Amino acid sequence: MDRFLLPVALREGGELLWLAMADPTDPEAIDLVRRKTQKRVRPAVAGPSEILRAVRTHYGAGSASTQPEDVQREKLAAIEIDSEEDATPFEVVNVADDIEDNALSRIAKQLGVEVPPNIPSRGHMDLRAADPAPPKSDRIGPPFTLEELFTPLTRTGPIARDDLRDADMSTLDALRGSMEKAALVLRTLAELCVEKGVITREEFKKRKPSTDPVKPS
């Protein structure tokens, strides 16, 4: 049985591996990756088509069942792991910053994954050398109250950006980030249901509510 996995990124000083999986409830696959990487593994759900599409788009894989040679040379790949594969350790390199405009990169970014300073990726080597970014904090602030959330709404009519304070912008950014995370999880779960045949894409489209983007004033 093939298991579709993609190492997304490392965090916590390179000790924790974020792993995109078609089936994040597969303990055998998680144990296999843990043995091969010698790292703790935290799974994130992603459909098989998302994982294979990321490999084909970024690394030019010829087909879904083969692994491109350039990926093997760099030891950086979406893995189709057979359950009988040996447990030889392999190097894990961050790929979250090398894969753009797809669901897997958004998973890494939405979850707050960053590249450890001692394991630079190709996309961050020059950036860190020129201007190191301040470290991110994993601490989660207290929840917002309704009064804090709607503080800017003190008068009728559209709100200009100049009317918002820095604290207001931080509140809106946090709210938007939470909504984007929730939307991402729901979309990947729906994709997984379609992949496993629980629902069809046509049924999903019929049930999907129509949403029109809100145009800024």
What is the pLDDT at residue 211?
A: 55
What is the pLDDT at residue 119?
A: 39
Burial 40-49 (b: 16+ CB within 10 A, else e): ebbbbbbbbb
On whether the pTM is more than 0.75, the answer is: no
pLDDT averaged per 10 residues, the chain (length 217): 75 85 85 89 84 73 44 38 45 47 53 48 42 53 49 52 70 81 82 83 73 50
What is the pLDDT at residue 137?
A: 53
Domain spans, the chain: 2-122, 146-152+159-207
CB 58 within 8 A of CB 98: yes
Long-range contacts of 79-84 (CB under 8 A, 24+ apart): 79/3, 79/4, 79/5, 79/6, 79/7, 79/33, 80/2, 80/3, 80/4, 80/5, 81/2, 81/3, 81/5, 81/29, 81/32, 81/33, 82/1, 82/2, 83/1, 83/3, 83/28, 83/32
CB 52 within 8 A of CB 2: no
